[in-house]
Amino acid sequence: MDATGNQVYIDAYYKSNHAHVKWSFWASLIALVIGLMVLIIGVGLALAGSGTAASVTTTAAGIFTQFISAGFFFMYSKNLKQLNVFYDKLIRNQDTMFACGLVDHIPEAERPSVVQGIIGALLSRSGPSTEITPELVKALADAKQSGTALR
């Protein structure tokens, strides 16, 4: 898959996740409003002196619906957090593609050191336990070319 096709796929996936988060928020809000209305109706029935069973059942249903909406909001917050993680990965991907595209505009004599710097930066941003610098990447490449192994 080429870079453009990959970007289209990532954009479509992001839009899909964004739509799911939006639906999750609205479902949470609707459940909250319905639960609040049922709770108010139940309390109103109790205060009006209507049948005890009806007012208790309606109030309990309102409280139960409030718990359901709290669960929906919890799921919404998890979805939103996941969307933010994905968005960060999308930005990293775009930065990588941009950096690789800029290599074509570097003079041919300077490209190897620029490519090594990009590789070092890309590897170090993923958070390995050992810091990988452009100098380390260059040393590894030189060792590979000379046929010696680094220990």
**How far is 59 from 41, CA to CA, in rounded Å?**
7
How many separate helices (H) and strands (E) can be counted in the chain?
4, 0
- Give CA separation, 87 vs 31, 81, 93, 110, 140, in Å: 28, 10, 10, 33, 33
Give the mean pLDDT per block of 10 residues along the chain (151 residues). 66 80 88 88 82 82 88 85 79 79 82 81 64 68 64 45
In contact, 87 and 69? CB cutoff 8 Å: no
